[in-house]
């Protein structure tokens, strides 16, 4: 029956099995004790010794000796990288600009939906709320396994649109010998920074970079951006010292498909997910056994000839699933798992959409491949994982804003409110609260009665 050697087809026929399925899809889950300890000691070191510790850990973990006199990547290097890209690969530069343009358009649209609130009180006066930009934000651009200029755009643009005054980027360096230029950072990331107007970029990564953002000179209000388990754990340990966007873990995709979907498209979408990381999860659910068989075959033949075969086989074998389930159970599984990405490769995706509220990002209809979202159709690709999409939103403009509440009372408004506030304060035994309110009431009576 099943022709794919690394990803069997299984049946989901019983509602009671859904929680077990969801549990089986959990990956690393809790950060392991080792990671916790390693990160805690790096953060403590950076807190105590500052930049000296950052340089030290960069040497130990990334094998790069940074020059303490020239840490910040000079703007001239950013501009030079952009000019160079423009000259040598104008098509890539044009693609980068398309991405930036799309992501900025979306972020600006988001900003227009975040309105301030003002309400009149029944007895006079107003209450409200306004959105205020954070002053300083740190953005983390992962850099261990691959380069992520798209992630630079996805983190910097919402912060810019929010109106953050200082944005500090950090990204781990490569051994300088492997890259042209002196900074140890991929030229494409430098060019992208220049194109975005990001002027402050530092070549360090991991827990040491995040510790420096929070405890060091930038003393950021918030750290945003994805990374590996050390990065995620450092963010978790820094909560309270500063804010964080979310705890993003290994990436995941759920595809719900029917007989209208093309098996080759589905296989490539699953592989696009699986190629990220051995921990990436790629799951296809359909009520059509013939489709599942066809996808299994496509996966097998395409993986065999893929340049990313090794990583595909690992992630698909451990976290890949081909599941035969009817529509109701498919929706139930999707809702319970709350995957980071959800593709609806069905003939009538709009009919499915209303029931599918927990996923981080939804790709509606077979043409709307996740790859378009990853590279900047507009919605952010920094998304909640590991079931946190149940209660967290994608990275966005709101990540870099906070609400401030407002109260405005005239003397008359205060006088009208004073009696019941006094009464409540008295009941709580907070004498001075009562007097504070009462003085406003009396003051008004005295001057205007």
Ligand X SMILES: NC(=O)c1ccc[n+]([C@@H]2O[C@H](COP(=O)([O-])OP(=O)(O)OC[C@H]3O[C@@H](n4cnc5c(N)ncnc54)[C@H](O)[C@@H]3O)[C@@H](O)[C@H]2O)c1
User: Which residues participate in catalysis according to the annotation?
Assistant: 340-341
Q: Of residues 181-220, which lie at the interface with ligand X (CB under 6 A)?
A: 205-207
Q: Of residues 58-77, which lie at the interface with ligand X (CB under 6 A)?
A: 61-62
CA end-to-end span of the chain: 91
Letters for 243-272 (x = contact with ligand X by CB under 6 A, - = none) are: -----x-xx---------------------
- The encoded tokens of residue 215 equal 């405890």
Q: How far apart are CA 446 and CA 449, in angstroms?
A: 6
Which among 118, 124, 119 has a CA at the least distance from the CA of 414? 124
Stretch that binds ligand X, among 63-71, 116-124, 142-150, 360-368 (CB under 6 A): 142-150
Q: From Zn ion, ligand X, none, which one binds at residue 62 (CB under 5 to 8 Å depending on kind)?
A: ligand X
Q: Should residue 147 be labelled a site residue for ligand X when binding is judged by CB under 6 A?
A: no
Q: Should residue 110 be labelled a site residue for ligand X when binding is judged by CB under 6 A?
A: no
Q: Are 212 and 245 in contact (CB under 8 A)?
A: no
Nearer to ligand X, 205 or 243 (CB): 205
Name the site residues for Zn ion (rule: CB under 5 A): 374
Which position among 276, 341, 387, 444 is part of the footprint of ligand X (CB under 6 A)? 276
Q: Should residue 312 be labelled a site residue for ligand X when binding is judged by CB under 6 A?
A: no
Q: From Zn ion, ligand X, none, which one binds at residue 374 (CB under 5 to 8 Å depending on kind)?
A: Zn ion
DSSP characters over 257-323: E-TTS-HHHHHHHHHHHHTT-TT-EEEEEES-HHHHHHHHHHHHHHHHT-TTHHHHHHHHHHHEEEE
Q: Should residue 376 be labelled a site residue for ligand X when binding is judged by CB under 6 A?
A: no
Q: How far apart are CA 388 and CA 392, in angstroms?
A: 6
Q: How far apart are CA 42 and CA 49, in angstroms?
A: 10
Pairing state between β 401-408 and 126-133: antiparallel
Q: How far apart are CA 432 and CA 437, in angstroms?
A: 8
Nearer to Zn ion, 163 or 278 (CB): 278
Q: Should residue 231 be labelled a site residue for ligand X when binding is judged by CB under 6 A?
A: yes
Which position among 46, 162, 382, 415 is part of the footprint of ligand X (CB under 6 A)? 382
Q: Should residue 172 be labelled a site residue for ligand X when binding is judged by CB under 6 A?
A: yes
Cβ at position 341, least distance to Zn ion in Å: 8
CA distances from 78 to 75, 99, 143, 186 (A): 5, 18, 17, 11
Q: Which residue is nearest to ligand X (CB)?
A: 206
Write out the residues near ligand X by the rule CB under 6 A. 38, 61-62, 142-145, 148, 151, 172, 205-207, 226-228, 230-231, 248, 250-251, 276-277, 381-383
């Amino acid at each position: 029956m099943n022709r794919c050697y690394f990803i069997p087809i299984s049946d989901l026929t019983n509602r009671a099995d859904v929680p077990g399925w969801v549990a089986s899809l959990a990956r690393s889950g809790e950060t392991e004790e080792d990671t916790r300890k390693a990160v805690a000691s790096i953060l403590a070191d950076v807190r105590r010794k500052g930049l000296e510790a950052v340089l030290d850990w960069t040497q130990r973990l990334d094998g790069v000796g940074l020059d303490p006199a020239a840490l910040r990547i000079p703007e001239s290097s950013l501009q030079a990288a952009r000019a160079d890209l423009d000259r040598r690969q104008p098509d890539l530069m044009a693609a980068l600009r398309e991405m930036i343009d799309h992501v900025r358009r979306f972020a600006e649209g988001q900003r227009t939906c975040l309105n301030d609130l003002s309400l009149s009180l029944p007895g006079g006066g107003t209450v409200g709320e306004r959105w205020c930009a954070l002053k300083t934000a740190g953005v983390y651009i992962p850099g261990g396994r691959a380069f992520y200029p798209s992630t630079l755009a996805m983190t910097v643009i919402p912060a810019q649109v929010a109106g953050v005054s200082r944005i500090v980027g950090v990204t781990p360096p490569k051994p300088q010998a492997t890259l042209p230029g002196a900074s140890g950072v991929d030229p494409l990331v430098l060019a992208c920074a220049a194109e975005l107007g990001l002027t402050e970029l530092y070549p360090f990564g991991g827990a040491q970079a995040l510790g420096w953002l929070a405890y060091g000179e930038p003393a950021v209000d918030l750290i945003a951006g994805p990374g590996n388990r050390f990065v995620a754990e450092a963010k978790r340990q820094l909560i309270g010292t500063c804010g964080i966007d979310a705890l993003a873990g290994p990436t995941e995709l759920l595809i719900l498909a029917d007989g209208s979907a093309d098996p080759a498209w589905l296989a490539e979408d699953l592989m696009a997910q699986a190629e990220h990381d051995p921990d990436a999860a790629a799951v296809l659910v359909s009520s059509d056994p013939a489709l599942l068989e066809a996808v299994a075959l496509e996966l097998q033949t395409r993986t065999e000839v893929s340049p990313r075969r090794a990583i595909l086989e690992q992630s698909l074998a451990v976290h890949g699933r081909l599941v035969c389930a009817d529509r109701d159970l498919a929706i139930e599984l999707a809702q319970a798992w709350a995957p980071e990405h959800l593709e609806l490769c069905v003939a009538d995706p709009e009919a499915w959409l209303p029931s599918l509220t927990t996923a981080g990002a939804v790709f509606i209809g077979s043409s709307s491949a996740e790859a378009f979202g990853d590279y900047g159709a507009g919605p952010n690709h920094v998304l909640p994982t590991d079931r946190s999409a149940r209660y967290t939103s994608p990275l966005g403009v709101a990540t870099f804003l906070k609400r401030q509440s407002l109260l405005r009372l005239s003397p008359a408004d205060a006088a009208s409110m004073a009696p019941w506030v006094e009464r409540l304060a008295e009941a709580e035994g907070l004498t001075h609260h009562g007097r504070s309110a009462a003085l406003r009431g009396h003051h008004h009576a005295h001057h205007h009665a």
